[in-house]
Amino acid sequence: MTQPGTEARYAGDVTPKEAWALLERDPKAQLIDVRSFPEWNFVGVPDLSSLGRPVHRVEWQSFPAMAFNRDFTTTAAESLQSVGAGRESPVLLLCRSGARSRSAAIALTEAGFARALNVASGFEGDVDSAGHRGTLNGWKAAGLAWRQG
């Protein structure tokens, strides 16, 4: 479900399972993981090898200062172009919980990508009652394919 007031700014939100289904049925659909380098290496990354395509890794912010990546849109566009994805291809954006990826979806939409979608709840999802991620929602909790680093 799309956040109120953001409908015109990007194509909307999808759940991790909806993202996987779109990746399965549309060979042009691409996934960009916008988390930071340490997150990719220590928390894990989605695994799309069974679908025969890569996960594009383009930091929205860089650790440790979490400085905004001014080259995000250019780098993302080049990565997508390298696999034949165009500005009309579905582009799914994923972060830890869905906040950075929403911002990235808006940025790609503003750069002319018509189908930039935010994967709501992200890779790890919301914090549970014990203060842990990865149990309530998100890519991992949905049981979708992933691998360490």
- The one-letter code for the residue type at 26 is D
Which is it for strands 45-46 and 146-147: parallel, antiparallel or unpaired? antiparallel
Mean pLDDT score of the chain = 94
pLDDT, position 149: 76
Q: Is the pLDDT of residue 57 over 50?
A: yes
**pLDDT tens digits for range 74-110:** 999 999 999 999 999 999 999 999 999 999 999 999 9
Q: What are phi and psi of 37, to 5 degrees?
A: -50, -50
- The reported pTM is 0.93
Residues 6+ apart with CB under 8 A from 137: 15, 16, 121, 125, 126
d(Cα 64, Cα 70) in Å, to the nearest integer?
16
- Give the single-character DSSP code of 26: -
